[in-house]
Chains A and B, each alone.
Chain A
Amino acid sequence: MEVNVPEIRISQPILPPESSLPPGKRAADASGAAPSAIRKFLLSRGNSAYTDLSFQYLMVLCAFSIFGIVVLIFVELIGRSRLAWDQFHFEFFYKIYTDATTNTVLFWDPANSHFSALPFIYGTLVSSFLALLLAVPLAIGVAVFLTEMCPGLLRGPLAFLTELLAAIPSIVYGLWAMFVLVPLLRVHVNPVLIASLGWTGLFSDDNPTGLGFVAAAIILAIMILPIISSLTREVMTAVPHSQREAVLALGATRWEMIRMGVLRNARIGIVGAIILGLGRALGETMAVTMVIGNSPEIHRSLLSNGSSMAAVIANEFNEATSDMHRSALIEIGLALFIVTVIVNALARLLVWAVTRGAPAQTH
């Protein structure tokens, strides 16, 4: 059934007839008082269909630039890492070399063209998950406090302070970690850890510098705390009040109300917030580079020096001598990009599922 819908075009504007204007106004217009900019524009315009269409297409082009950025990153990174990929294929991510002279295990040796990304993947995963372990309980505690328990006057300033943590650039965190946190760990914390938890095999005393995975995990935890906590707060406020009131009406205490009425309903979103924090921790470069020790080796001890994917790129890229070295670093960057895209996409889907697809915060 064809419905004939007339094409609506904004053509000549309909202006009020001259006679309907009050005499004073008409006289003023006739005597040459300048009409407003919009009025002049309306009087001069004809059909605006083409301008409207071209404007719309220009806006669509700008919007497509977002896709263009993703395509650009993929194309450039895949193109430049082709050299390393053609040589190593999937072995790049798990190969273990042996040093011929000392018979020790070797992973990353640019001088002899040994390239294996295993220590960096290990370092990224260990530092990120350790940071999550430290940050998630604190972040959820802060979110619960700010949403449910905080007196109203305190809520604004405290929320602002938590957001301020997110605004501090990572170089400042790295600077503070390098000059304050690492000496603190070296002198006070690490000996305690070695003495009390050394039997687990995870804390050995052969690295007296204070750098290492623990330092990186602590500074990463401070950095991902505000992300997890603000998203958790958003997800918790999205839970309808009827749920809270229903649980309270059944005789629950405040903590039971939070646990059963709010956290249980928001748990998908909280998982999404945690995964988003993980995504941020995986890609963090500057703060980690400055405190992780930058050694391309794998040790069981959490106090040992290590490296991460972003850290090795930041450190070695400008000094890379061979094309293969650069290509290997770009391949690590490509792997990092793919992993963070997957992690972020998963996290956003989970958070949107709870907040019902409403535009979320920009971080």
Chain B
Amino acid sequence: MRTEFKLRAKFRAFTDHAATAIAVLSTILVVTPLVVIFAYLLFRGFSSLNLAFFTKVPVPVGETGGGMANAILGSAVLLGLASAIGVPIGIGGGIYLAEFGRGTKLAYAIRFTADVLNGVPSIVMGLAAYSLVVVPQNHFSAFAGGIALGIMMIPTICRSTEEMLLMVPHAVREAALGLGVPNWRSVLSITVKTASPGIITGCMLAFARVAGETAPLLFTALGNQFWSTNLNEPIAALPLQIYVYALSPYDDWHRLAWAGALVLIVLIVLAVSLVRYVTSRGVLKGTS
């Protein structure tokens, strides 16, 4: 009986240690691809990153020395369009969920639908924007790309705004209302302003996510080899250009694709780290 107990105890201790080892091993296995991808990206991308990358447009195939300036500008234009659509509507939706609809069934349905929309593949959004904008207009345009990216931002910003607004204590709202400030002014100037660091970081997170999206741009903005700021014409975008260059058979274009990927990832990592830093400081600190 005692030996049975000792044997069983040894077995249980062994499984405990084995489980710990497996957990540690799986963590190492998970972190390794990240480190490997980053290292390889730095290695391949850094050597081809020079000033020409940021200032020159693509040159004809076979020549060297081109850059991706038009893609960086195009990405900025598309993201500006997407933010102009996504940020106001998303924040409005978040304000409704947190201020006016708290606890109602409608708010539950909207929150649920927003979460489901966050998981929809981005190529479907691109197809919807193609059908809505490109087909009636009969040409690809930056507008269509901006709309595709904008409707991707709305659910994300809506949910994060709601979470940030829920963190504002009731005392702040009640103090404003008690002084006679109308409800709409109190929501805008007091509550939203208090939560604004969190709301801005939520918008940055959506921004970072949408900045790397390629699929919705494949048949809305289409891509452009030349410098273009016309919103009614196809426009280049950094992830789109990376995709086209990666699939090509030219070494120089591969080099540019790696450099572009490095730029993209550095921007996104900066945005995510900034988001983490600001949210760790809390919602109510450092408000204006």
Contact = CB atoms under 8 A, between A and B. Distances in A.
B183 A55 contact: yes
Contacts of A282: 121
B93 A313 contact: no
A310 to B, nearest CB: 5
A245 B268 CA distance: 41
B158 A145 contact: no
Contacts of B149: none
B269 A276 contact: no
Contacts of B88: 62
B53 interface: no
Interface stretch (B16-24, B64-72, B76-84, B225-233): B16-24
Nearest to A177: B37
Interface in A312-357: 313-314, 317-318, 330, 333, 336-337, 340-341, 343-345, 347-348, 357
B138 interface: no
Given A76-B128, A172-B41, A318-B218, A160 B276 contact: yes
Nearest to B85: A65
Contacts of B187: 55
B119 A169 contact: no
Interface string B131-161: 1100100000000000000010011101110
A66 B183 contact: no
A175 B257 contact: yes
A38 interface: yes
A141 B23 CA distance: 5
A359 B34 contact: no
A280 B116 CA distance: 11
A79 interface: yes
B199 interface: no
Contacts of A347: 119
B22 A253 contact: no
Interface in B206-224: 208-209, 211-215, 218-219, 222
Nearest to B273: A160
A282 B20 CA distance: 32
B239 interface: yes
Given A63-B96, A73-B128, A344-B116, A175 B242 contact: yes
A286 interface: yes
A164 B257 CA distance: 21
A359 B19 CA distance: 32
A175 B246 contact: yes
Contact of B261 (A76, A77, A172): A172
A63 B92 contact: yes
B110 A67 contact: yes
Interface residues of A, number: 99
A70 B110 CA distance: 11
B274 to A, nearest CB: 12
A29 interface: no
Nearest to B177: A10
Nearest to B44: A179
Contacts of A62: 88-93, 95-96
Contact of B97 (A63, A77, A137, A222): A63
Contacts of B19: 144, 254-255, 258
Contacts of A229: 30
Contacts of B179: 13, 38, 42
A258 B23 CA distance: 12
Contact of B123 (A80, A139, A313): A313
9 contacts: A63-B101, A63-B106, A137-B26, A164-B34, A168-B34, A174-B243, A255-B19, A256-B16, A283-B120
Given A62-B92, A62-B95, A80-B131, 11 more contacts: A38-B189, A72-B151, A137-B26, A149-B23, A167-B268, A172-B41, A178-B246, A286-B243, A310-B215, A314-B123, A360-B115
Interface of B: 12-13, 15-16, 18-20, 22-27, 29-31, 33-34, 37, 40-41, 44, 88-93, 95-97, 99-101, 106-108, 110-125, 127-128, 131-132, 135, 151, 154-156, 158-160, 162-163, 166, 177, 179-185, 187, 189, 202, 205, 208-209, 211-215, 218-219, 222, 239, 242-243, 246-247, 254, 257-258, 261, 264-265, 268-269, 272, 276
Interface of A: 10, 12-14, 38, 41-42, 45, 48, 51-52, 55-56, 58-67, 69-70, 72-73, 76-77, 79-80, 137-142, 144-146, 149, 158, 160-165, 167-176, 178-180, 222, 225, 229, 253-256, 258, 276, 279-280, 282-286, 290, 310, 313-314, 317-318, 330, 333, 336-337, 340-341, 343-345, 347-348, 357, 359-360, 362-363
